[in-house]
Amino acid sequence: MADPSTSPPLTRSSVQEAHNLILPHIHKTPVLTNTTLSKLASTPRPAAELEGTPWAGRTPTKPVIRIWLKCENLQRIGAFKIRGAFHAIERLERDKKWVESGGKEKGVVTHSSGNHAQALALAARENDIPAYIVMPDISAAPKIAATKGYGATVIFSGSTSVEREAAAAKVIQDTGARLVPPYDHPDIILGQGTLGLELQDQVSEALASSSPPYRSLLLPTQSPRTSLNAIIAPCGGGGMLSGVALSCENTGIRVFGAEPNYEGADDATRGYYSGTRITTVKSLTIADGLRTPVGVYPWSIIYERRLVSGMYSVSENEILAALRLVYERVKVVVEPSAVVGLAVALFNEDFRAMVEKEGGEEGWDLGVVFSGGNVSLEALGKLFST
C-alpha cells in the first residue's frame, strides 16, 4: 500500500475524490425497493417469535421502515471490494518511489476469505501487476476459482486473521510484494465509501420522482423525504462501514453497523458498547465475509469519531431467514454476509425500537447495503436443506 501518511484525509470530500478516481473501473450498482420487505420491516413481529430471544416478554415493536437496497452483489467480482482495491492500486500507481523501485514487477499481496481476494486480483491484472493472495483453506470454492481465474497466485492458510497475516508476511519476505490489506488502510476505506455516495444520490433522485415506489407505505398526511434517514451496512473488518460513515459525514444521514453474533462474530458490537476494540475473532458464522476483527483505522472512524451511530447483531437463523426472503421476494443472488443489515431491520428489536421512537409515524427511509453475491449453489443447498 501507499504509506498511510500520504493518503488523503479521512473525510467525505476524500471519498468524493476516490469516486472520481475509480469511476472508469466500477459499476454504478442499482438501488432496488421491495414492497414486501418494507411491509415486513414495518409490521410487529408475533410475540411468539420473541420467545427464546433477548426480547422475550416485550411488546413487539412497530417501526415504519422503507427499505432501499444498494446491490453491490451486482458489482464487478460480485462485491463492493472492487472499489477499495482499485482505489488502492490507482494510488500505488501514482507513488513514484514504488514504481521507480520496481514495485510493479514485485507485485502486491493480500489476505482475504474471497471478495477482496478477487478484487485485488482483478485490479492488479488490469494494471499488469502480479498478485499473491493468501486465502483461508475453508474459503468458498467459487471465490478461490475466481481469484485464480483473474491470474493471481493463491496461497492457502488457516482461517484466523493471525494465520492469514503470517502467511502474507512470508510472501512479502520471499517476493518483495507490497501489502494491500483488505480493510485496515485509508485508501481502502475511501474506496469502499464510494458506494455510500452513490446510494445517497440514487435514493434522492428516486424520492424526487412523482410516484416513489414506497408511496403505499406513507400515511395520507405524509410527504416523501428528499433523502435517506439512515444506512445500515455489514461489518467485518469495518472498511466498508467506516467508508460509508465518511460518505455520510455532515449530511444528517445516520449510519449503523450489522454483524452476526455466532461464536463471538459480533466483536465490533461488543467493542463499540464496551469502549475497547476487540482484536481477535474465531467464528464459523455462515456470514463468512464477516469473520474478521475491526481494524485500527475503521475503529477510529466507527467508534472514536462516532461516525457510526450504533452496532447491532443477529443470529444465524435470522440471517438465514433474511437470505430466504431475498431469494424468494427480491429475486437476486446474495451471500449470507450481504443480508445481515436487512436481518437487523427485520428482527433486531433494539434497532426496531430505536427506529420506532425516532422515526415516529413518518418512519425512516433506510438504505441497506447488499455487500456481495459470491456464494456457491452447493453452499446454498446446505444452508436451506434443514
Q: Where are the domains of the chain?
A: 6-79+189-383, 80-187
pLDDT at 343: 98
Q: Which of 7, 38, 42, 113 is catalytic?
A: 113
Catalytic option among 70, 81, 104, 143 = 81
**Which of the following CATH numbers is that of domain 6-79+189-383: 3.40.30.10, 3.40.50.1100, 3.30.1490.190, 3.40.109.10?**
3.40.50.1100
Tally of CB atoms within 10 A around 363: 25
Q: Which residue has the cell 458498547?
A: 273
Proportion of the chain above pLDDT 90, given as a percent: 80
224 pLDDT higher than 80: no
Q: How, if at all, do strands 65-71 and 31-33 pair?
A: antiparallel
What is the CA angle 221-222-226, rounded to 5?
155
CB 193 within 8 A of CB 243: yes
Same fold, 6-79+189-383 and 80-187: yes
pLDDT at residue 210 is higher than 90: no
Residue 221 pLDDT greater than 60, yes or no? no
Whole-number pLDDT of residue 3: 72
List the grid coordinates of 31: 438501488
Rounded to two decimals, the pTM is 0.94
Reply yes or no on whether 81 is catalytic: yes
* Cβ 223 vs Cβ 234: under 8 Å: no
Task: Quick: pLDDT tens for 129-178.
Answer: 999 999 988 887 777 888 999 999 999 998 777 888 899 999 999 999 99
Name the CATH architecture for the domain at 80-187. Answer: 3-Layer(aba) Sandwich (3.40)
Task: Categorize the per-residue pLDDT at 37 as very low, low, confident or very high, splitting at 50, 70 and 90.
Answer: very high
How far is it, in rounded angstroms, from Cα 329 to Cα 10?
A: 37
Give residue-wise pLDDT tens across range 76-130.
999 999 999 999 999 999 988 999 999 999 999 998 877 899 999 999 999 999 9
Running DSSP on this structure, what letter comes out for residue 312? E
Active site residue 113: yes
Q: Which residues contact 385 (CB under 8 A, 6 or more apart)?
A: none
Name residue, grid cell 512479502: 172
